[in-house]
Chains A and B, each alone.
Chain A
Amino acid sequence: MAEKTLVAITAGGGDYIMGAGGTIAKFVAEGYRAFVIQAGNDEKNSIGLGPAETRLANNADAEKAARLLGVAELFNLNNKSGELSQLSSNELRAQMTTLIRHYKPAKLFIPDPFIHYEPEWDQFWTGRAAEETNYSNAGYFLPELAKAGVAGHGVAETYYYAARRPYRPGEGGHGSAKFMPVDVSAVFERKVEAFLALRTASRAYATHVKQRLEAADRPSGRLRHLDDAAVDGLARARLVELAETIGRKHGVRFGEEFNYHGTAPGAKQSRPPWISERERRR
């Protein structure tokens, strides 16, 4: 196990930054090496560009954003964004498994496939395959990888994130999975800086917001001209509102939150109660 390695799995180039970017930056500051596995090619998220130009632009943005966050490497699986349901989930899982075995992370960040009312199904399909790697990383899976010298690797801690909104009641944190808030106030500017690098996607977002506001007869002066400053301003406002909303839930200024399960390094394994109720002193 590479003790200070983490892997973030993400549907598009920006999802992991929105959902977990501050926490990842925090771990990077603590000395973790961070790697990102991106499931989709981001070929659809733009304004005024064709699919090939869109993916090139978004991929370049994502590389830059990852660097700014402190990520050591972003690996893009290049499946077609928006069409992940058409891919065999076993195949997607095998792609992720291969890379997880390669990076050998102690911590894994994945989109939560069990949050509700998320209209982008890529989040779901990415999260589902990512979650299953918990199984498929075991050595008896994919023996062809072992043959090629890539042995199984168990990940000690999994952080599920909801990419674009706070967790809602009934989602996560039950049973032996903990609900884990993280105070990202100290690294929030780094998260913002990384996110602002995703300008192709942010421009598409700003355009859609502008169109919606205009359709609702509530146009915003700040979005009248969608120059870089307007696009960045909206992207920042979006991150601030998200982080403050989560932060309010947990008594911090800027927060992120996770459905977490696993065992942190150094944590003492407690003995199951069916054992401890029987143990006696000699």
Chain B
Amino acid sequence: MHIAILLILAAVAAPAQDSLPLGKLPPGRVLLVAQPHHDDHTTDYGMGGLIARFVEHGFEGYYVRGSNDEKDGAHGYGRNDIINLKETWDAIRILGMKKVISLNWRNDFMNPIPLDELREQLIFVIRKYRPDAVLGHNPWEHYQKNPDHRNVARALVEACWLAGYETVHPEHFDLGLKPHSVPHYYGKGRLDWGLGQISNIAMELNESQERKKELAIAAHRNVYGSGGAARALSAELAKEGKYIPEFERAAGELEASDMITHWWMNWTSRQIGRKAGVKYAGSHNYTGGLYHLPGLREFVAQNAEPVR
């Protein structure tokens, strides 16, 4: 869920880490992004650029929206849901993903929902699409006050693991599905309320991927588009004898508002890129396929052979 921060941000999240190693794209062909809300695929601390990069490298992408997004926007619950879902489709198409799967849990009320039920839905989706990489929130991030972010992430990391067990929800197999465990997980954490997460990699973005990130988040005009905010900013600057040259070329206030959103994304990608010695990047908490099996890395290094 977005927070109205475009112009009222008091303090920009300070970088939690000074440098980050650059990660490589894993092999594979399917990407699943599972998040509670319409806009969580991107946002500043998010992963829109990485999604675009996966897709540009041949991955098929699918987006799971866990909630109904009824509270994001000024149009009432039902209409917010419809508008936000439509804008999710617009945004994921910009990023090159194929489909939105909406689970429709009640927005911002996901704390006490049965996690096993949500997990089962995610296991089902994982078995259907068989992703090589999954992107979601980091369930271990701190100072994450949104219940939906926490719970979708918790259910998701468990689903990535349990989807591989043939003893888990065997009823799925009658529908022709097969077990599938997910080898690569990329987590994100908000940094604006506290530590959030400690990222362990940066993923470089090229110009095209960065641009898609900017456009994808701005596609959520229901919550990010604010002509009034752009107007207020211009008025505030004018009082100081200042202006923003780019605004003079904007077709209207809403387009100026889109520009602000683009710049916000761009600035964040540059900040993260600087930590990794590249122009643009996103930062993530990555857990690889062998991560949770202690000792296996050494075993693999000594015993496993690459496929020829």
Q: Which residues of A contact B (CB under 8 A)?
A: 88-90, 93, 114, 128, 131-132, 134-136, 138, 140-141, 170-177, 259, 261-263, 267, 269-275, 277-282
Contact = CB atoms under 8 A, between A and B. Distances in A.
8 contacts: A132-B145, A140-B71, A172-B194, A174-B14, A174-B191, A273-B267, A274-B260, A279-B242
Interface residues of B, number: 41
A175 B196 contact: yes
Contacts of A281: 241-242
Given A90-B109, A175-B194, A281-B242, A274 B267 contact: yes
Classify the interface of chain A: helix, strand, loop or mixed.
Answer: loop
Contact of B260 (A171, A261, A275): A275
Given A278-B244, A279-B243, A280-B244, A89 B111 contact: yes
Interface of B: 1, 6-14, 16, 71, 74, 108-109, 111-112, 142-143, 145-147, 191-196, 233, 237, 241-246, 260, 263-264, 266-267
A174 B145 contact: no
B243 A280 contact: yes
Contacts of B266: 274
Contacts of B194: 114, 172-175, 177, 259, 261
A270 B245 contact: no
A174 B192 contact: no
Contacts of B16: 174-175
B16 to A, nearest CB: 6
B7 A272 contact: yes
B243 A176 contact: no
Contact of B196 (A134, A174, A280): A174
Given A90-B111, A175-B13, A272-B9, A135 B146 contact: yes
A136 B107 CA distance: 11
Contact of B263 (A138, A170, A269, A278): A278
A89 B7 CA distance: 32
Contacts of B196: 174-175
A282 B237 CA distance: 10
A279 B237 contact: yes
A175 B71 contact: no
B139 to A, nearest CB: 13
A279 B267 CA distance: 14
Contacts of B6: 272
A262 B3 CA distance: 13
A171 B112 CA distance: 25
Contact of B112 (A90, A114, A272): A90
Contact of B111 (A132, A140, A171): A132
Q: Give me the 5 closest cross-chain CB pairs, A-B, nearest first.
A: A274-B267, A174-B195, A274-B263, A176-B11, A175-B191
Given A175-B13, A274-B260, A279-B237, A135 B108 contact: yes
